[in-house]
Amino acid sequence: MINNQRAKLDSYDRIKKFNVKYATDIATIADYAGEKTKFDAAVAIIVAGANAQQVNISGNTTASTLAKAAMANTVFKYAMRGAAKARILGNMVLAGQLEMPITYIAAATKTEAVQRAQDIRNALNSNLALLVNVTAANVTEMDAAITAYDGLKDNATVAMQAKKASGTEALPVGYTAADAAVENMYDLFYSYFITTKPAEVTEMGLAIKIINTGIRHTPVAFTVTDESGKALVNATCKDMSTEKIYTADDEGVINIDKHKAGHFHFVLSAAGKVDVDMAADIKRGTSNNFTVTLKALA
């Protein structure tokens, strides 16, 4: 949750306290209870969304990282053993297939790392009769390491997508509903008590004003994904009007906390993807949210 969202939520808390403080007066207003119910439900959605944004997915990330390292180490160990034997036997073609640095697997992308590990495993398995220092049991050990990583490699991405769906995407809906209910509550309270209890009306009015100015600046957010909908955590955004570059968070969201209103150009980029030059109309005093899909380089 970015700063302007926290300010908005703090403002809603003022309204909730107002409703408790003047519950007796409020109970006499027709239709107020229904709008209060809508407001409370919307705020609950916002709070749940904010909590979902804070879900710690580092456990998934750590497990995946450790499994990848274990796979790379296991395959590398037997690949080097096999490469040495192939060289001794004068089979330089096989030696070339097996003699790879550990980073060939460890530094590769998730899917590519599994494929490279599998290719080396297959080269070893197909030459067990020749490479007598590598056994079927060693191949089984590699299989276990590859399977373990393959089963974990996408967990962090799945967790981030779930986090985004339950958290970030729920917030705009909650804000819209809460603001609508607040406006109705104020109009009702004003119409019943502006003459008899102007101080209370003013108090609520101040709370409304804080909500309406809760977005003190004009924030801009870009959610950047690949063609499958996965978050691009390495994405960047260059604001062509200022030359400033912003980086995506672990949900693929690039936040610019405050920006001038008007028509601007942004360039969205990520490694291995085609840049997108995007024109955007930034509206003052509101959250400007955009979703951008970056396609893979041909």
Q: What is the mean pLDDT of residues 36-53?
A: 77
pLDDT value for 216: 46
Q: What is the mean pLDDT of residues 52-74?
A: 68
Q: Report the amino acid identity of residue 184.
A: N
Span 113-147, pLDDT tens digits = 999 999 999 999 999 999 999 999 999 999 999 98
| Averaged pLDDT of the chain | 82
pLDDT value for 6: 62
pTM of the complete model beyond 0.75: no
Question: Domains in the chain and their CATH numbers?
Answer: 1-216 (no CATH), 217-298 (2.60.40.1120)
Residue with tokens 């276990």: 144
Span 223-250, pLDDT tens digits = 999 988 888 988 999 999 888 999 998 8
How far, CA to CA in Å, does 217 sit from each of 6, 145, 276?
13, 50, 26
Assigned token pair, 67:
């499994």
Q: How many other β-carbons are positioned within 10 Å of the β-carbon of residue 245?
A: 12
Q: What is the mean pLDDT of residues 264-282?
A: 92
CA-to-CA distance for 181 and 204, rounded, in angstroms?
A: 13
Q: pLDDT band at residue 191, thresholds of 50, 70 and 90?
A: very high
pLDDT value for 270: 94
Pick 156 or 85 by higher pLDDT. Answer: 85
